[in-house]
Structure 1
Amino acid sequence: MLLLLINTGLVIFLLMQRNRSHAHHTASRHQDAFDRMALTLQYTEAQKEQHRALRKDHMDRMLPLYDSIRQAKVLLYSRTSIVEESDSIFINYMAKINAWQTRINQSNYAYYKKVRALLTPEQQPRYDSLLIRMIERGRRDSSQRR
């Protein structure tokens, strides 16, 4: 029991440290991406403000879901020596992670549609292309593996 408490405390500490060390970098990276998008799509000032408001609301709803997934994975993976795939603990964690990921995917899709609705008909094709590039960024087709 004591070992479980120590492990749980360590996991919480590591999560808190990770969140603290990545906070500035992530915010800066997201701002750079937003600025590039605004420049590429030639946003008006009104569109920038509307998109910023949508993005803030979206991220306020998404970050707790990402945190929940991360914490569930840490707790699950820290128990690999005692939990089998057939255990109810494993099944429960996987169901939670899948449900959170589904909510994230649905929310992202709705967010992208809302952003697209802010754009003029001339901007929309560029947005569609940019969105696909963002989704595919840095990813290679699995068939291209060495």
Structure 2
Amino acid sequence: MALKFKTELLDDVATVEFGGRLSQACEQACCIFLYGDLGAGKTTLTRGFIQGLGHTGNVKSPTYTLVEPYELANWQVNHFDLYRLGDPEELEFMGIRDYFSERSHCLIEWPDKGEGILPQADLSVTLTYVANHRTVEVIALSPLGEDVVEKLSQNV
């Protein structure tokens, strides 16, 4: 059975804060698949992740560019939004494999659109609206993901 962590996020501030916690739990390069309906908070969580690693500028949705890279002191963070991707093969043309390295965290919104091309994820993160707040569920999909989920569970 995969390790899981689930918690409530009362607002956007809590979603950003959780993204920061997630970034601190990822001590090695991590591939994170982000799931949730439009407006569920995937980019908000990613903003917290990137800011948690020291980025001080804006974090925008890569809806039209497919990827927004962030070069930080110790990490490269690549934020993908595949919502508008027409064919997974387009990822090959953009050199998708070059974005994944031992110092790159990759957060991918709408990963199902890149099925068959994307590497195996370490974590699956699902954001869901419940009443007037969100829940986030993090599922480990690799040994690295299990380590991250254990760290999140210890820091409740």
Bigger helix fraction: 1
Structure showing greater radius of gyration is 1
Considering Cα pairs closer than 8 Å and 6+ residues apart, tell me whether 1 or 2 has the greater RCO: 2
Bigger strand fraction: 2
- TM-score by length of structure 1 reads 0.30
- TM-score by length of structure 2 reads 0.28
